[in-house]
Copies of this chain bind each other. A is one copy, B any other.
Amino acid sequence: MRKFFLLVLLATRPTAAEDSSLVAYPSGYRQWIHVKSMHIRPGHPLHHLFGGVHHIYANKQAREGYRRGKFGNGATLVLDLLDARDDGFAVTEGPRRMVAVMHKDSKKYPQTGGWGFEAWRADNRKDRMVGTTAAAQCFECHAQRKKNDFVFSSYRP
């Protein structure tokens, strides 16, 4: 009986993917508005993290946040990182390298400016690259943007 109880406990324990403090995958973000883009090349100080072409996408709440300079709960930003294929004459987009997300929920993430951070490798929605290490992996850098509600990008008209 005791053994059975333990098994039930193990089976119902939330896995990392179900942990409610983790940021959810931003399904449908390719239909959100496109904020701006950038191509980070070898030699750039952030190349090891964000090397390639990236596009920033914003959901409706985040779009409003760019206007106000302050993002409300529910605002979500995606950095969609793709391989950059450069033949010397043109740079085109290769396969996806990472989907990185900032999701505003001031109650859940008071330690990191009200933002939850996560990143998924390539198109694999289960391969989380941040998990519970957002403070060190993401916020250490974003903290410098306090005046902009910790967001680096601004909306390109």
CB pair B38 A55 closer than 8 Å: no
User: How many of chain A's residues touch chain B, expressed as a range?
Assistant: 20 to 34
In the complex, chain B residues whose CB is within 8 Å of the CB of A53:
37, 39
In the complex, chain B residues whose CB is within 8 Å of the CB of A157:
30
Give the shortest distance, in Å, between A92 (CB) and chain B (any CB).
6
A6-14, A83-91, A113-121, A143-151: which lies at the interface? A83-91
CB pair A89 B44 closer than 8 Å: yes
In the complex, chain B residues whose CB is within 8 Å of the CB of A91:
38-39, 41, 91
Central interface residue in A30, A44, A47, A89, by most chain B CB within 10 Å: A89
A36 to B80, CA, bound (A): 12
CB pair B93 A40 closer than 8 Å: no
Give the shortest distance, in Å, between A48 (CB) and chain B (any CB).
13
In the complex, chain B residues whose CB is within 8 Å of the CB of A39:
39, 53, 90-91
A57 to B33, CA, bound (A): 10
A15 proximal to B (CB < 8 A): no
CB pair A38 B90 closer than 8 Å: yes
A-B contact pairs, 20 of them (CB 8 A): A30-B33, A30-B34, A30-B157, A31-B33, A33-B34, A34-B55, A38-B91, A38-B92, A39-B39, A39-B53, A39-B90, A40-B90, A41-B89, A41-B90, A41-B91, A42-B89, A43-B89, A44-B89, A44-B90, A93-B156
